Amino acid sequence: MGKTICFVNNKGGCGKTTTVCAVGQAWAAMGKKILFIDLDSQSNLTSIITDTDPSIQEWETTLEDAFVGGPEFGLPVYHVNDFIDIVPSDLDLSNFDKDVARVTGREYILADLLETVKANYDYILLDCPPALGLITYNALVASDYMVMVTNADGLSYRGLKMVASLFNEVTGNKRLNPQLQIIAAIVTRYEKNNLSELYLQKMKNELGDIIVEPVVRKSTKISQAGSFQRNIYDYDPTGKATKDYMQVANELLQRVVIK
């Protein structure tokens, strides 16, 4: 049965999508069967994984259709290659809160949808939006493990605090998801200076071993790869941040396997 992992921070632009791609693609290259789920209406994950331009994407059905249709409708899963499938999103997902406002049990919609596909994958990776609303809530309720993604700066740090309180809310309620575990905090876009060292140290003091070594260094090639919807392992195979991501993906896999 596949394990579900959500990647979260309510700060936008801190590297969540890049990290979900880098981890999932590395695991797929090791022969793991991966399902990516794009929970952000900006659909950056969808663009990178399917190599399509967001402005010309025309998916017949997307995640929002499944959210509205429920388990009988099922998840629209698109096949990318032998090891990677994806449930794409588009701008329609921004209607989620409004569309499900009257649905009872709206915190469980994603969890119910995943039940039907879990057996087909080793890992289901959820790319969360930069907000702690109902979609992220659904992600935490549906997941076995949570990974926090952060930069070593004040805004991300504050974002982490808010994520931690949402985590406490979800695990503190036995009808939500008391089994959810935080397995990692991945520090990305790291550029060494006094301020970033201060925040990294602060995070290490508070989170201890949850912080993954190494941190992922900032690299122009990574942002280029993102804007061209390219896989970082193809675009910059020997780059410093690519190497960091390979190690991070290995470390994360070990943590998931041990659990």
Q: Which residues bind Mg ion (CB under 5 A)?
A: 16-17, 40, 44
User: For the window 237-256, what string marks contact with ligand ADP as x by the rule CB under 6 A?
Assistant: ----x---------------
Per CB under 6 A, the segment of 6-14, 55-63, 91-99, 168-176 that binds ligand ADP is 6-14
Give the nearest distance from C-beta 223 to ligand ADP in angstroms: 4
Per CB under 6 A, the segment of 13-21, 99-107, 131-139, 155-163 that binds ligand ADP is 13-21
Q: Which is nearer to ligand ADP, 106 or 243 (CB)?
A: 243
Give the nearest distance from C-beta 102 to ligand ADP in angstroms: 30
- Identified binder of ligand ADP from the candidate list 2, 159, 226, 239, rule CB under 6 A: 226
Give the nearest distance from C-beta 44 to Mg ion in angstroms: 5
List the structure tokens of 240.
């410093």
Q: Which is nearer to ligand ADP, 81 or 227 (CB)?
A: 227
Q: Which is nearer to Mg ion, 130 or 214 (CB)?
A: 130
Could you give the CA distance from residue 201 to residue 180 in angstroms, rounded to a whole number? 26
- Identified binder of ligand ADP from the candidate list 69, 76, 130, 214, rule CB under 6 A: 130
Q: Per rule CB under 6 A, is residue 156 in the interface with ligand ADP?
A: no
Give the nearest distance from C-beta 99 to Mg ion in angstroms: 21
SS (H, E, C) the chain: CCEEEEEECCCCCCCHHHHHHHHHHHHHHCCCCEEEEECCCCCHHHHHHHCCCHHHCCCCCCHHHHHHHCCCCCCCCEECCCCEEEECCCHHHHHHHHHCCCCCCHHHHHHHHHHCCHHHCCEEEEECCCCCCHHHHHHHHHCCEEEEEECCCHHHHHHHHHHHHHHHHHHHCCCCCCCCEEEEEEECCECCCHHHHHHHHHHHHHHHHHECCCCCECCHHHHHHHHCCCCHHHHCCCCHHHHHHHHHHHHHHHHHHHC
Q: Which is nearer to ligand ADP, 100 or 132 (CB)?
A: 132
Q: Which is nearer to ligand ADP, 2 or 239 (CB)?
A: 239
Number of residue whose CB is nearest ligand ADP: 226
Could you give the CA distance from residue 160 to residue 151 in angstroms, rounded to a whole number? 10
- Identified binder of ligand ADP from the candidate list 118, 218, 240, 243, rule CB under 6 A: 218
Q: Which is nearer to ligand ADP, 130 or 214 (CB)?
A: 130
With b for 16 or more beta-carbon neighbours within 10 A and e for fewer, the 168-187 pattern comes to: eebbeeeebbeebebbbbbb
Interacting residues with ligand ADP (CB under 6 A): 12-18, 44, 130, 188-189, 216, 218-219, 222-223, 226, 241
